[in-house]
Amino acid sequence: MTRSWSKFLFKTVPIYPLITFRIVFGLLMLFSTSRFMYLGWIEDHFINSQFQFKYYGFEWVSLLPPFWMYIIYVVMLLASIGVTIGLFYRISSILLFLTFTYTELIDLTYYLNHYYFVSLICLLLIFIPSHKYLSVDTKIWPKIASTRTLAWHINILKFQIFVVYFFAGIAKINADWLLNALPMKIWLPAHDAVPFLGAIFSQTWAPYLFSWVGMLYDTFIVFFLLFTFTRSLAYVLVIIFHLTVGVLFQIGVFPLVMIGVTLLFFSNEWHQKNIQRIKRWVTTNNYPAYINSKFATRCRNVHYISQILITLFVFFQLIFPLRYLLYPGNLFWTEEGYRFSWRVMLMEKAGTALFYVKNPETGREGVVDNLEFLNAHQEKQMSFQPDMILQFAHFLGKKYKLEGQEIPEVRVEAWVTLNARPSHLIIHPKINLSKVQDSWKSKSWILHSNNY
């Protein structure tokens, strides 16, 4: 079994799909970064921010001064270009991973599954030599050029795409999504003014149709992309599905990203044919149809280490999304183990969080104006996510302590609704949150409701 796994990973295959992936992903990152800068989101997300919510374990990631935040995005822009054209590829891929992941880790309220996906792809590209064909690097260093690569360089990317889709699909196998068509019953009628599709969205059967189609699509689309006789139809479905999602939901360039990266599943011949068209006016290099001897020797030298690292990565990607099984209660209510598990657009959740700060010396208690410290997006996301509520409570406790008080008592009255059900308290309003510490353990301070 180990020998078969090793053969599967380290056999040589044509490099062409990898080159298409590099160019398409690089262009998408270039577009996404340019769009972020053009829309003024550097200022909105970071420059004008007083407080940032942190990922557990990454509290040390802090916001840089405004000038350096602009520099970060300029570097990200240049790194995207470097990856696209294969210029100083290794350096470009490292910088792209570091800059993008850094900006993702600054504020938890901006978490999206596709940001996590992009970070993982950027990380993988550091170790995948997708610059050995049709790149500026091969003009500078012709000896690195090759039309062959190792199978794992392509298959690990296919695997990561599979993980995104498959876990998103099985996450939809629940009563609310399939039997109650929630939250589709909430979302679709709100888009009844969309040309052509609006008439469908207003039908009573539409939420059920979209819920079931969404589950089936996510669960099985990669399997259809893998087989030649279903691949073309499957890719048409990829385009239709993600364009529809793009119309319905404001999720940035994620639909374009998934449309672009799934081209990886097309045949070597398809990629070679299209790459040759580009090559005619980009380069005149002659590429050896083999992996050069130095590269092959290096691969043999790191064979066992690479196999172990790849296996660990695959194992982690399969196990980590299932960690929610270790926690009691409704995952959608507590959100313990929810993030980084590819649960894409699964619920409609909203809340209001009213914080009270009490001086233990005088007994005086006041109500906090959240918008004094948070922007509208941060307050919205914080109001229904328990770990963010706890973070903000700790921030308030430290702030008022610095004003000369004893450690103040901070409590919250947080009412949350899930999929349009009646609102319920998510945290006991009498608990002093300034004394509660977050951890990987189950959050016993979250109230569980029979309705959730």
Per domain, the residue ranges of the chain are 2-323, 348-435
CA 435 from centre of chain: 32
Burial 327-360 (b: 16+ CB within 10 A, else e): bebbbbbbbbbbbebbbbbbbbbebebebbbbbe
Among candidates 49, 83, 89, 87, which has minimal Cα distance to 65? 49
* pLDDT tens profile 350-392: 999 999 999 888 888 999 999 999 999 999 999 999 999 999 9
Residues 242 and 259: their CA atoms lie apart, in Å, by 7
pLDDT of 284 strictly over 50: no
Residue 96 · residue 29 · CB < 8 Å? yes
Between 197 and 126, the more confident residue is: 126
For residue 367, which phi and psi values (nearest 5 degrees)? -100, 140
For residue 420, which phi and psi values (nearest 5 degrees)? 70, 15
pLDDT of 97 strictly over 70: yes
Determine how β-strand 349-358 pairs with β-strand 148-150. unpaired
Place 293 in a pLDDT band, splitting at 50, 70 and 90: very low
For residue 163, which phi and psi values (nearest 5 degrees)? -60, -45
Q: What is the pLDDT of residue 273?
A: 92
For residue 144, which phi and psi values (nearest 5 degrees)? -80, -10
For residue 355, which phi and psi values (nearest 5 degrees)? -100, 140
CA 452 from centre of chain: 26
Mean per-residue pLDDT over the chain, rounded: 91
pLDDT of 427 strictly over 80: yes
For residue 149, which phi and psi values (nearest 5 degrees)? -150, 175
Percent of the chain with pLDDT over 70: 93
Among candidates 129, 136, 138, which has minimal Cα distance to 12? 129
Average of per-residue pLDDT across 250-262: 90
- How long a stretch of residues is the chain? 452
Average of per-residue pLDDT across 418-445: 94
Q: What is the pLDDT of residue 25?
A: 98
Average of per-residue pLDDT across 327-339: 95
* pLDDT tens profile 130-178: 999 999 999 999 999 999 999 999 999 999 999 999 999 999 999 999 9
Determine how β-strand 349-358 pairs with β-strand 409-418. antiparallel
- Position 116, amino acid: Y
Q: What is the pLDDT of residue 448?
A: 86
pLDDT of 340 strictly over 50: yes
Three-state DSSP string of the chain: CHHHHHHHHHCEEECHHHHHHHHHHHHHHHHHHHHHHHCCHHHHHHHCCCCCCCCCCCCCCCCCCHHHHHHHHHHHHHHHHHHHHCCCHHHHHHHHHHHHHHHHHCCHHHCCHHHHHHHHHHHHHHHCCCCCCCCHHHHHCHHHCCCEEEHHHHHHHHHHHHHHHHHHHHHCCCHHHHCCCCCHHHHHHHHCCCCCHHHHHCCCCHHHHHHHHHHHHHHHHHHHHHCHHHHHHHHHHHHHHHHHHHHHCCCCCHHHHHHHHHHHHCCHHHHHHHHHHHHHHHCCCCCCCCCCHHHHHHHHHCHHHHHHHHHHHHHHHHHHHHHHHHCCCCHHHHCCCCCCCCCCCCCCEEEEEEEEEECCCCCCEEECCHHHCCCHHHHHHHCCCHHHHHHHHHHHHHHHHHCCCCCCEEEEEEEEEECCCCCEECECCCCCHHHCCCCCCCCCCECCCCCC
Q: Quick count: other Cβ atoms within 10 Å of Cβ 119? A: 19
Residue 268 · residue 15 · CB < 8 Å? no
Q: Quick count: other Cβ atoms within 10 Å of Cβ 203? A: 13
Q: Quick count: other Cβ atoms within 10 Å of Cβ 420? A: 12
Between 191 and 406, the more confident residue is: 191
Q: What is the pLDDT of residue 37?
A: 96
For residue 314, which phi and psi values (nearest 5 degrees)? -60, -45
Q: What is the pLDDT of residue 349?
A: 96
pLDDT of 195 strictly over 90: no
